[in-house]
Structure 1
Amino acid sequence: MTDVKSGTNPLFLRTEEIMQAIELLFFAYRDFTGEPDELLAEYSFGRAHHRVIHFVGRHPGITVSELLSILQITKQSLSRVLGQLVREGFIKQTPGAVDRRQRLLELTDKGLDLDEKLFNVQRQRIVRAYKESGAEAVAGFRSVLMNMMEEEDRPRFVKNQKKPFRKR
């Protein structure tokens, strides 16, 4: 039932519905990250390592400052995680062509292998959920996620935009 004046559906604005949505997000996130956490533990890595590997893998040549902007973590936190990934041979850094102070980040073959393993674990969960939910639900899910994120990040996901992600 839609409220004609506001155009909103009061069913989804009830406190109970909001609480349930928050709880669903907690459980979904727990399960979405659980299997990758087990894989990461084999390398003594955590979720911060996963995020760095993910975004460096999707944006080869990303600068440290761009990565900081996406992850919204402190330089100190990124430095610790990135330093370990570089020392252990998962990420390589090269100086920028124009500004030699820039550090451009890219996954090594070892990093690409781990990225692929992590992606495949999460892909299986997403594919299953999408298949079970149907196209309309997937579109609704995407819309909800888009509207939950900050507005300045939304252009990354505009349809028909050239994808900055590497092919798998």
Structure 2
Amino acid sequence: MQEKVRIGGLGGESLLFLTDDQLRGGIEAMFFAYRAFTSDPDLILEDMDYGRAHHRALHFINRGPGLTVTSLLDVLGVTKQSLNRVLRTLIEDGLVESRVGRRDRRERQLYLTEKGTALERRLSEAQRARMRAAYRAVGPQAVAGFRQVLEAMMDPETRAQYQSMKDQTDDRT
């Protein structure tokens, strides 16, 4: 079966015909790429009896110091019970600090400790190196196309959340 996918725009459209086998190949490439992308951090986390949920929490807390537990729940899309288990471990192990909110004392704001920052850096360095090498290998047009594909795969709510985080980063730079 073939599906027409319109690419381009503003009068310069061209049609891309994709077979189910080509789509399946893309799905498989995504699975293998994700496995490679997570392999280095997984080895580090395994030694600490942590999992990918710990890594994601560390990543997003590092990205937005003072992030509230509620905001982290929204970003990660996990249950409160699941996040509480992860945060409890990270706090007990001295990687994350939970502080009372400045505006709302009922809120808990999350910060990485020095130890947490060091671990997050270690986890993400290998991923950045892998992405940097891949981006250099394929060039700027492919990088832009890859990002467009990823964003197009997101549902509207997730895309809005992602865009909001990107905007916050742009505001800081």
Matched residue, 1:127: 132
- State whether residues 48 and 81 of structure 1, in contact with CA within 8 Å, keep that contact through their aligned partners in structure 2: yes
1:107 matched to 2:112: yes
Trace 1:33-48 onto structure 2 (pairs within 5 A).
Answer: 33-48=38-53
User: Cα offset for 1:9?
Assistant: 2.9
- State whether residues 59 and 165 of structure 1, in contact with CA within 8 Å, keep that contact through their aligned partners in structure 2: no
Aligned match of 2:167 in 155, 161, 167?
Answer: 161
Cα 1:52–1:164 change in 2 (3 A) is farther
State the identity as a percent: 43
User: Cα offset for 1:153?
Assistant: 3.1
Aligned match of 2:84 in 54, 67, 79?
Answer: 79
Which is further off, 133-142 or 93-102?
93-102
- State whether residues 58 and 165 of structure 1, in contact with CA within 8 Å, keep that contact through their aligned partners in structure 2: no
Aligned match of 1:66 in 63, 71, 77?
Answer: 71
CA RMSD of aligned residues (A): 2.4
Cα 1:165–1:110 change in 2 (3 A) is farther
For 1:9, the aligned partner's letter is L
Q: Please identify runs of 4+ aligned residues in structure 1 that moved more than 2 A.
A: 1-4, 7-11, 152-158, 164-167
TM-score (norm 1): 0.88
Matched residue, 1:31: 36
Q: Deviations for 1:38-58, whole angstroms, at most 9, x for unmatched residues?
A: 011121111010000000010
| 1:163 aligned counterpart, secondary structure | helix
- Structure having the higher strand fraction is 2
- State whether residues 68 and 75 of structure 1, in contact with CA within 8 Å, keep that contact through their aligned partners in structure 2: yes
* Unmatched tracts of structure 2, length 5 or more: 8-12
User: Cα offset for 1:131?
Assistant: 0.4
Q: Deviations for 1:82-114, whole angstroms, at most 9, x for unmatched residues?
A: 100000000000011121111000100000000
Cα 1:66–1:3 change in 2 (3 A) is closer
| 1:81 aligned counterpart, secondary structure | helix
Q: Deviations for 1:8-67, whole angstroms, at most 9, x for unmatched residues?
A: 6343x3211110010000000000001100011121111010000000010110011100
TM-score (norm 2): 0.86
